[in-house]
């Protein structure tokens, strides 16, 4: 029989306001096996933890039930508390009387009654708990960063600096990501390329960093410390080791009509290309969708001009498999498609552009050489209208996104300011719902745009944009002025919402990392573990976790790196001891468990058993590798004889909880 101590937490008033904690601890004191029961204001505080330890020693407790917040919050805390007092940490059960009781029920009687039942269930379970000892598994001391934008680069650099090898997998021919396309950065207006490209070079030159550009993650197996990842290295038809990046081929290639994705299709590139001058690796790539040689077998110009002999039309996709201890997702974002926003005439007029396109039009390395010209006729625009929140903060979510894209207010202010600075003869209007500037020097920046640069900020939404005689007729409402506005604009710039990259969803499935409804990766805890995925060994860096600007991204990238380093410095990881185990006496050896095990943790041996009348019986029995088993329990249900059970969540324990709840 266990000697159980029950500790009911008030959580200040979080629990105590809707649950009579005294009644709960009194009721639970009467349960069989309970030798001590109390309540306290903050059980997770030092004083609370000290009390638990004291009572473990005083009463010789063999089991502890804490009625408090979710076990997802403090189960580990209380396990450690008990361990320090000499109790096996797995002799602790948490009754969740906050998130699943006090917070959802307003009536104190109901809440108290439910809390008692939840406490009883935890007591019933702990009665059947057995001390568990965690095993260990080795850690592969290499990290994988998926995505080579500023987030991925920073994470990789920080991990590499700590001395661990790290691979960056980037789906594009070069690393750099969205930041390479940006002209200036708010609120300091320093040049994006000037601060990014040195980092790209650092990454390329760091001997701990291995850049796998033009590559994609194909499959992920394993678990924290021991991931095995299959990476597809897409054929670029250029031998990376030979190409010097001289760029001659990209000048001679006869196929000139390829939309240049780097400039968002605002100009063209060749079929063989280097995305931009500072690309890393600076290696040419042949676009198989346009290359005449690859499509028809006739041409071969690039091969002829390449003195390094790097062109290889026979190159095939290559699958490589590597082991990693940790994986960082840094898959970034994209502006949403403007297809559903016809009211802004995006598809009808080339002079309606997105903000990212506007970046390219303002960029010295862009299609216009940095001079702002209308895409339709190459003339200088005089009236510009910026529309904010295009697709952000949309209710219903059919057309756009329910969330705030966070960066648009600031970059729009930047665009407006830069336009006015370079071209003082322009009229710049910004239509906004709210201007959100919470950040260091952000509001000052916005005020400068209004006050110093004379940008017209108008609260209201643009209702319609109609191209007419080379002008864009903008109809809008001025909510503060209470009037309808009609502006004849030369250009309209749409601050398109951002969304996670499309590759994130399949990647999340491979990583078994969870995502929210908008396909942003979910963090393990929104406040306390913001750079970790709930899936152990998977970390989050940058905008794949939620919209953020460059400094935030870099900060998170560093944080993710530090978490990875914290993992990789360990030689061994403590395994989850709540794993499956098979009772050999009952095992049929039928392989049902093996078939449903996602980790291949189950093997079989033939073993001799003592049979009746001094005979020996040889039977095939299952064996679970506790280092590989992750404790999902699929096998326990597949097993018809019940030989397979799960430690910490045994059949008997779950049924005891059921009994206690239904009583």
Nearer to other proteins, 474 or 587 (CB): 587
Min separation Cβ 393 and other proteins, Å: 18
Using an 8 Å Cβ cutoff, are 259 and 266 in contact? Answer: no
Span 291-320, contacts to other proteins by CB under 8 A: none
Give how far the C-alpha of residue 383 lies from the chain's centroid of Cα atoms, to the nearest Å: 40
| DSSP-assigned states of every residue in 488-557 | EESEEEEEE-EEE-TTHHHHHHHHT--B-TTSPBPPSBTTTBTTB-SSTTEEE-GGGSS---HHHHHHHH
Span 201-230, contacts to other proteins by CB under 8 A: none
Please report whether residue 508 would count as binding other proteins according to CB under 8 A. yes
Span 573-632, contacts to other proteins by CB under 8 A: 578, 585-592, 595-596, 598-599, 604, 612-613, 617-620, 630-632
Min separation Cβ 32 and other proteins, Å: 6
Strand partners, 521: 515
Centre a 10 Å sphere on the Cβ of residue 251 and count the other Cβ atoms it contains.
Answer: 11
Nearer to other proteins, 256 or 618 (CB): 618
CA distances to 52, 304, 540, 653 from 336, in Å? 53, 41, 21, 49
Min separation Cβ 238 and other proteins, Å: 36
Min separation Cβ 561 and other proteins, Å: 24
Min separation Cβ 475 and other proteins, Å: 36
Pairing assessment for the beta strands 602-610 and 616-624 based on DSSP bridges? antiparallel
Min separation Cβ 10 and other proteins, Å: 16
Nearer to other proteins, 86 or 642 (CB): 642
Please report whether residue 514 would count as binding other proteins according to CB under 8 A. yes
Using an 8 Å Cβ cutoff, are 213 and 281 in contact? Answer: yes
How many of the chain's residues bind other proteins (CB under 8 A)? Answer: 77
Span 93-152, contacts to other proteins by CB under 8 A: 96, 98-101, 103-107, 110-111, 113-114, 117-118, 121
Span 643-662, contacts to other proteins by CB under 8 A: 643, 646, 649, 651-652, 654-655, 657-662
Using an 8 Å Cβ cutoff, are 380 and 423 in contact? Answer: yes
Min separation Cβ 517 and other proteins, Å: 6
CA distances to 186, 410, 498 from 441, in Å? 9, 11, 23
Nearer to other proteins, 206 or 651 (CB): 651
Residue written as tokens 């690859």?
294
Options 12, 13, 32, 569; binder of other proteins; rule CB under 8 A: 32
Min separation Cβ 654 and other proteins, Å: 6
| DSSP-assigned states of every residue in 617-633 | EEEEEEEE-TTT-----
For residues 534 to 573, the per-residue mask of contacts with other proteins, x marking binding by CB under 8 A and - elsewhere, is xx--------------------------------------
Nearer to other proteins, 60 or 609 (CB): 609
Min separation Cβ 83 and other proteins, Å: 21
CA distances to 197, 362, 365 from 194, in Å? 6, 16, 12
The 3-state DSSP class for residue 219 equals: strand
For residues 59 to 88, the per-residue mask of contacts with other proteins, x marking binding by CB under 8 A and - elsewhere, is -----------xxx----------------
Distance of alpha carbon 290 from alpha carbon 270, whole angstroms: 9
Span 1-30, contacts to other proteins by CB under 8 A: 30
Please report whether residue 408 would count as binding other proteins according to CB under 8 A. no
Distance of alpha carbon 386 from alpha carbon 340, whole angstroms: 18
Q: Please give the backbone phi and psi of residue 587, each rounded to the nearest 5 degrees, phi first.
A: -70, 130
Options 136, 503, 522, 562; binder of other proteins; rule CB under 8 A: 522
| DSSP-assigned states of every residue in 247-292 | -HHHHH-S---EE-GGGTTSSEE-SEE-SSTT-SS---EE-TTT-H
Options 58, 190, 516, 571; binder of other proteins; rule CB under 8 A: 516
């Amino acid at each position: 029989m266990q000697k159980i101590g029950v500790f009911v937490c008030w959580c200040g008033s979080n629990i105590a306001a809707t649950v009579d904690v005294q009644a709960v601890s009194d009721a639970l004191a009467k349960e069989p096996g309970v030798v001590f029961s109390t309540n306290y204001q903050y059980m997770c505080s030092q004083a609370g933890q000290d009390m638990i330890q004291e009572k473990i020693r005083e009463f010789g407790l063999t089991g502890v039930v804490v009625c408090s917040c979710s076990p997802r919050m403090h189960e580990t805390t209380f396990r450690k508390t008990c361990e320090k007092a000499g109790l096996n940490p797995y002799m602790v059960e948490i009754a969740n009387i906050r998130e699943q009781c006090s917070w959802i029920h307003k009536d104190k009687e109901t809440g108290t009654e439910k809390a008692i039942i939840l406490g009883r269930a935890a007591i019933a379970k702990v009665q059947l708990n057995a001390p568990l000892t965690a095993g260990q598994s080795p850690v592969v001391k290499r990290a994988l960063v998926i995505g080579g934008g500023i987030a991925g680069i920073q994470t990789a650099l920080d991990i590499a600096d700590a001395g661990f090898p790290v691979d960056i997998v980037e789906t594009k021919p070069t690393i750099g990501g969205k930041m390479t396309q940006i002209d200036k950065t708010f609120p300091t207006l320093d040049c994006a390329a000037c601060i990014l490209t040195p980092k790209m070079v650092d990454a390329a030159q760091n001997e701990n960093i291995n850049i796998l550009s033009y590559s994609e993650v194909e499959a992920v197996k394993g678990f924290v410390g021991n991931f095995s990842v299959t990476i597809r290295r897409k054929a670029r038809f250029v031998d990376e080791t030979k190409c010097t990046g001289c760029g001659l081929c990209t000048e001679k290639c006869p196929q000139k009509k390829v939309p240049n994705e780097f400039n968002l299709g605002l100009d063209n590139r060749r079929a063989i290309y280097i995305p931009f001058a500072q690309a890393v690796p600076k290696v040419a790539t042949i676009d198989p969708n346009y290359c005449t040689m690859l499509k028809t077998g006739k041409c071969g110009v690039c091969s002829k001009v390449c003195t390094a002999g790097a062109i290889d039309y026979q190159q095939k996709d290559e699958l490589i498999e590597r082991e990693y201890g940790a994986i960082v997702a840094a898959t970034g974002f994209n502006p949403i498609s403007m297809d559903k926003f016809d009211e802004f005439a995006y598809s009808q007029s080339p002079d309606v552009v997105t903000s990212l396109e506007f970046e390219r039009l303002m960029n010295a390395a862009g299609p216009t050489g940095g001079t702002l010209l209308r895409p339709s006729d190459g003339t200088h625009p005089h009236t510009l209208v910026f529309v904010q929140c295009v697709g952000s903060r949309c209710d219903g979510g059919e057309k756009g996104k329910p969330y705030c894209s966070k960066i648009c207010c600031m970059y729009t202010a930047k665009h407006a300011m830069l336009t006015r600075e370079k071209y003082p003869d322009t009229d710049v209007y910004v239509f906004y719902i709210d201007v959100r500037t919470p950040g260091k020097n952000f509001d000052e920046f916005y005020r400068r745009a209004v006050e110093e640069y004379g940008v017209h900020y108008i609260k209201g939404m643009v209702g319609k944009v109609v191209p007419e005689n080379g002008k864009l007729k903008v109809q809008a409402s001025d909510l503060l002025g209470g009037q309808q506005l009609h502006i004849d604009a030369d250009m309209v710039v749409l601050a398109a919402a951002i969304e996670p990259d499309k590759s994130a969803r399949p990647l999340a499935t491979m990583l078994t990392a969870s995502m929210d409804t908008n396909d942003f990766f979910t963090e393990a805890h929104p406040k306390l573990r913001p750079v970790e995925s709930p899936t152990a060994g998977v970390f989050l860096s940058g905008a794949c976790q939620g919209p953020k600007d460059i400094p935030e991204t870099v900060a998170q990238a560093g944080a993710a790196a530090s978490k990875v380093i914290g993992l990789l410095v360990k030689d061994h990881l403590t395994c989850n001891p709540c794993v499956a185990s098979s009772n050999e006496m009952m095992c049929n050896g039928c392989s049902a468990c093996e078939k449903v095990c996602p980790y291949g943790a189950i093997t079989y041996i033939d073993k001799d058993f003592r049979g009746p009348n001094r005979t020996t019986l040889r039977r095939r029995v299952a064996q679970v590798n506790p280092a590989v088993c992750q404790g999902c329990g699929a096998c326990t249900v597949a097993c018809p004889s019940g030989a397979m059970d799960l430690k910490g969540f045994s059949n008997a324990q779950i049924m005891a909880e059921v009994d206690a709840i239904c009583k």
